[in-house]
Every structure is written in C-alpha cells, then in structure tokens.
Amino acid sequence: MFFVETLEEQVVNQRLRDFYGNHVAVDKPRFRVAFSDDQYEKRYVEERMSEHGIIVPVKAIETCPKYAWLHGQWMVERLIPNFYKDVMEGEYVYECMWAFPENLPLNWEAVWKFVSDFHNVTRPNIPRSQKECDYIEAQQLEKEKKITRDMIDTTPLETSLNDGSAEYFSGKINYKPSEQDNKILGKG
C-alpha cells in the first residue's frame, strides 16, 4: 500500500527525528506519527477461517491492517525490537504508544508533550552511538565499584589502601621513644 504523507505529518515526523534522533542499531527514527488506517504489516498465517466457519490450515504471509481496532486516528509510534513471531517486518518494528481521540487533527504540541514525558520517564540518557554507550557503561561501572567499596570499607586506612593513596615511609621517620612513652610502657 502506498499513502501520501500530509504536510503536517511530514513536519511533525521531521521534528521528532531532529529532537530524538535515529535508533543506534537501525537508521530509523525512534518515534514517528502515523495515521492508523494507513498502517499495514506482513504476518505469517498458519490457519484461516473459511466462509463456512471452518478453520482451514494455511501457511502463508498476508498483508493485513496493523491497527484494526483504531479507525481514523493519528497515533504516536516508537521503534522497538521485533519480538512478535508472526510479524515479518524485520528486526525492528513500530509500536503504537498513544493515539489521538477519534477525529482530532494532528497537533505538534500534544505529540511533543507526550513523547518528551515518555522519553524522560523511560530513558533520560539515550546514547546516540556505540562509543557513547561504552562511555556510559564504564562510568556506571566505576560508580558501582565506588559504592561497593564504600560499603565494605570501615576505616580511613582501609580506604587509603584500596584507592592507592596510602604511602610507605621506610627509613624516613626516625622515631625515638620519649620519657613519657617509657613511663606509659613501664620501662622507666
């Protein structure tokens, strides 16, 4: 099926792409808006109901409406890994997150408010590259190490030994016991 994208839809989708970028694994926008009646997907079908109410075994791929329960509604979709066994669209598919009420026009402010709230709640620091993913992971690992070390350490000496700040002064300090030390130790 081929559907012409409206100007409003193009503008909103471009803004979503500009604000939230493309997915790291595939070069598709993380979020998009679409019209429910325009969305179709290829599904693997093993059985089908015949005209006479009999279930007939069939093995085929059919193109069917993606959102049969939504009619004439704009919706916001997000890109997710394809964990559906019967959907033959690739490794990543778009999933409906929110639909405008019926017969309401597409509105950028409503889309932006919903996606920004969802984005901030779910993943505030989405990395845009593998290098950024590795950096964030290394920072998180160091933070976890520090928390664990702080929970285990009980004295400043143990802390200085663990973080490497302890120093060894062999032969630099000449200690001679004083008279008071000898009295305390019972030697004088």
Residue 86's pLDDT is 80
How many degrees, rounded to 5, is the angle at CA 139 between CA 134 and CA 142?
125
Check residues 170 and 148 and name the one with the higher pLDDT.
148
Q: Based on the fold, state whether residues 117 and 139 are members of the same structural domain.
A: no
Q: Does residue 176 lie within any of the structural domains?
A: yes
Could you report the per-residue pLDDT of 39-62, keeping only the tens digit for each?
888 888 777 777 777 777 777 888
Q: Give the mean pLDDT of 178-185.
A: 62
Mean pLDDT for the chain overall: 78
On whether the CB atoms of residues 61 and 124 are closer than 8 A, the answer is no
On whether the CB atoms of residues 115 and 31 are closer than 8 A, the answer is yes
Q: Does residue 170 lie within any of the structural domains?
A: yes
Residue 174's pLDDT band, with cuts at 50, 70 and 90, is low
Q: Based on the fold, state whether residues 25 and 70 are members of the same structural domain.
A: yes
Q: Does residue 58 lie within any of the structural domains?
A: yes
Domain interval for residue 69: 7-125
Residue 83, number of CB atoms within 10 A of its CB: 7
Could you report the per-residue pLDDT of 86-137, keeping only the tens digit for each?
888 888 889 989 888 888 888 888 888 888 888 766 555 566 667 777 788 8
Q: Does residue 146 lie within any of the structural domains?
A: yes
